[in-house]
Amino acid sequence: MERTIIKDTLNRPLHDLRISVIDRCNFRCQYCMPADKFGDDFAFLPKTALLTYEEIERIAKVFVGLGVEKIRLTGGEPLLRKDLPILVEKLSQLEGLKDIGLTTNGVLLADLAVELKNAGLKRVNVSLDSLDDELFGRINGRKVSTKPILNGIEAARQAGLGVKINMVVKKGMNDSEILPMAEFCKNNGLQLRFIEFMDVGSTNGWKMDDVITKKQIYEMLKDRYDLEAVEPSYFGEVAKVYRYKDTNAEVGFISSVSESFCSSCTRARLSANGQIFTCLFNGNGHDIRNMMRNGATDEQIAEKITGIWNGRTDRYSDERLAETNTNRKKIEMSYIGG
C-alpha cells in the first residue's frame, strides 16, 4: 500500500493513533471520572453516536496510509464495547500496521484475553493503582477489589500478550503504594509505569500540589534498588525506562507534567464519536464521522486528516511547564482515552 509520511508545524510525523471505542466505564476513578461528577444519570454518548467497527476500520486504514504504524484501543473502558475482538481482527489485517495495543482497567480481561490475542492484539496496558483492596476500591469508586485485575493480568500473560501496568500516582491517594507496587511488578516480571497525575479535563480537581513527580518516585526507588537507564526503543517513546541492575526487570515513568515530551509527540486521537484530537489537552475536535456518514471518500478523509496534522501546533505540556496559556477548554480523559 502506498504510504505518505505527514508532518506537523513542529516537524513531528504522524506515527500513532489512539482510538477510544467507548466513553462509558465500569469504574469511577477519582482522578479520571469522579463519581460525584459522573453519576448514574450522566449523559454518555448514545449508541448511534459511536463509530461502528466498519467506520473505525475505514478511518484507521486512512491513518495507516498516512504513516500510522501503531494503534492503541482505549476508552472509557474499551472492554465494555461489545465484541471488541471483532474490531481487533479487522484492524490487525491493515497492511502496514505494526502494532495493536489496548489500555484497560482489566476487570473484564480474564474472560477476553485469549480471544483478543487470537484476533491479533499484541499488548495490553492494565491500570492498577494499588495492591491494597480497600484503597483500590476507594480509588476506583466502585469498591472493586484487585482480584479481577490480577486475574486479568495473569490471563493476558498466559495468552501470550505483552503486559505493562499503569499506575497513576496522586499525592495523598496512593503514594504509600509506590514501593509495594514496584516490588510486586519487579518480582512478577511486569513492567510498571508510574504516571504523573495530569490536569486532563475539568472534573478531577487537579492541582500541581497533588502531583508526585518522576524525580520524587525515582529517588524513592533509588534508595532501595540499583537502576540503570534504558535507551528509548523508538522516536516518540513516551515512557522513560530504567532497568533494575543485573536483572531483566524494568520500570518506566510517564512524566507528562514534570518533564514534558511534546517535541516528540507523534500521536493523534480518535474519540468514540469520530472526532480527531491532536493533543490530550486540545479541546477542539475535528469531526470525521459526519463527513464520512455524508458520503466523503477515503481521499477526502485523508485530505482532511493531512490538513489537520499539517496545521498542528500543540505543545500543551511544554507550555504548562512555562506556565503560559493554560486556561483552555479541555477534554475529559475518559472521552478520548489516555
Q: How far is CA 149 from the centre of its chain?
A: 17
Which position among 44, 218, 244, 261 is part of the footprint of ligand SF4 (CB under 6 A)?
261
Question: Using CB under 6 A, which of 206, 334, 335, 336 touches ligand SF4?
Answer: 334
Answer with the entry of ligand SF4, ligand SAM, none that 261 interacts with (C-beta below 5 to 8 A by kind): ligand SF4
Number of residues engaging ligand SF4 in binding (CB under 6 A): 23
Based on the shown chain and the rule CB under 6 A, indicate whether residue 105 belongs to the binding site for ligand SF4: yes
Least separation, in Å, of the C-beta of 1 and ligand SAM? 29
Nearer to ligand SAM, 67 or 101 (CB): 101
The nearer residue to ligand SAM, 125 or 266, going by C-beta atoms, is 125
Smallest separation, CB 281 to ligand SF4 (Å): 5
Name the burial class of residue 329, with classes exposed (0-12), middle (13-18) and buried (19+) by CB atoms within 10 angstroms of its CB.
exposed
Residue 29 binds ligand SF4, judged by CB under 6 A = yes
Does residue number 201 form part of the binding site for ligand SF4 (CB under 6 A)? Answer: no
Please choose, out of 148-156, 204-212, 261-269, 290-298, the segment that lies near ligand SF4 by the rule CB under 6 A.
261-269
Q: By the criterion CB under 6 A, which residues form the site for ligand SAM?
A: 25, 31-32, 74-75, 77, 103-105, 127, 166, 168, 195, 197-198, 200, 204, 333-334, 337-338
Q: Select from 124, 241, 136, 210 the least CA-distant residue to 180.
A: 136
Q: Are 130 and 136 in contact (CB under 8 A)?
A: yes
Q: Which three cell numbers stand for residue 211?
A: 502531583
- Among residues 276, 275, 336, 291, the alpha carbon closest in space to that of 14 is found at 276
* Closest approach of ligand SAM to the CB of residue 204, in Å: 5
Q: Say which DSSP state 15 is in.
A: -
* Contacted entry of ligand SF4, ligand SAM, none for residue 317, CB cut-off 5 to 8 Å set by kind: ligand SF4
**Selected range binding ligand SF4 among 116-124, 185-193, 218-226, 314-322, rule: CB under 6 A:** 314-322
Nearest approach, Cβ of residue 230 and ligand SF4 (Å): 20
Extract the C-alpha cell encoding 57. 476500520
Residue 222 neighbours by CB under 8 Å, 6+ apart: none
Max Cα-Cα span within the chain: 60
Which of 81, 240, 315, 330 touches ligand SF4 by CB under 6 A?
315
Handedness of CA 24, 29, 31, 33 (dihedral sign): positive
**Stretch of 56-64, 69-77, 84-92, 323-331 contacting ligand SF4, by CB under 6 A:** 69-77
Contacts 24+ apart (CB under 8 A), 120-123: 120/88, 120/89, 120/91, 120/92, 120/93, 121/85, 121/88, 121/92, 121/161, 122/161, 122/162, 123/99, 123/161, 123/162, 123/163, 123/164
